Amino acid sequence: MMRIIPIPLVNNTLMRLVNFISASEPRLFQRLEGHHHKWFVIDATNLPFIICLRPDPKSPRLKASRNRDCPNAACRISGSFLTLLGMIDGRYDGDALFFSRDIYIEGDTEAVVCLRNALDDIDGNIADYVAHFFGKPGKKILNIARKVTPHAHPT
């Protein structure tokens, strides 16, 4: 199903989403100071595309790519979709996921640590912002995902 979604359409939506989050949570971008110009790859290993983020507060970028290589990327965070969702939803601890090898990081470790800390400082969480952005369908999908990934660590 996800393979047939047109990437340009996804990217249009992702750009609107990152602008929405940037306007709603400027503190997130402040915590990423020093790493604004870098490309972060978020690789949900069981999805057919990766997500690339450049957290420049003046011009944030968020895009999907079917090509899993991202030559300009400073770092990559990999894990299953539900594991990554559980982390940005504030239910899983990033260090614990690393200890259990449910997530894997490559490249610029400082940038990854900074992103993790910035995402964690949001009142509420990014998953709620994304769900809110997509309205009722978004909230419904997030609720289903939360039932599949309970408030516990995966291992």
Partner 1 sequence: MPTQHKPELVCPAGTPAALKTAVDSGADAVYCGFKNATNARNFPGLNFSFDELAECVKYAHDRKTKVLLATNTFPPAGKFELWKKAIDDAVDIGVDAIIVADIGVANYARRKHPNLRLHLSVQAGAPSIEAIKYYCEEFNVQRVVLPRILTIPEIKSLKKDIFCEIECFIFGNHGLMAEGRCSLTNYATGLSTNMDGVCSPAHHVSYEEDKDKTLTAKLNGFTIDCFSCTQNPGYPTICKGRYLVQHKDNPYYAFEEPVSLNLADLLPELIKAGVDAFKIEGRQRSKAYIQTVVSSWREAVDCALSGRDVKTDKLLSLTEGHKQTQGAYESKRWR
Applying CB under 8 A, does 120 fall inside the site for partner 1? yes
Q: Which is nearer to partner 1, 62 or 77 (CB)?
A: 77
With CB under 8 A as the contact rule, the residue among 4, 23, 123, 148 that binds partner 1 is: 123
Cβ nearer to partner 1, comparing 16 with 110: 110
Return the residue of 5, 16, 68, 121 that touches partner 1, per CB under 8 A: 121
DSSP state of 104: E
Does position 153 interact with partner 1 (CB under 8 A)? The reply is yes
CB of 16 vs partner 1, minimal distance in Å? 25
Compute the least distance from the CB of residue 4 to partner 1, in Å. 32
Q: Identify residues 80-99 at the interface with partner 1 (CB under 8 A).
A: 87, 90-96, 98-99
- Compute the chain's Rg from CA coordinates: 15
35: helix, coil or strand? coil
Contacts of 71 (CB under 8 A, 6+ apart): none
Please select the residue that binds partner 1; options are 101, 137, 144, 148, rule is CB under 8 A. 101
128 near partner 1, rule: CB under 8 A:
no
Under 8 Å between Cβ of 155 and 102: yes
Cβ atoms 84, 49 nearer than 8 A: no
64 vs 115 by CB, closer to partner 1: 115
Give me the DSSP letters along 36-87. TT-EEEEEETTSSSEEEEE--TTS-EEEEESSS--TTEEEEEEE-HHHHHHH
When binding is defined by CB under 8 A, the residue of 15, 105, 128, 146 that contacts partner 1 is 105
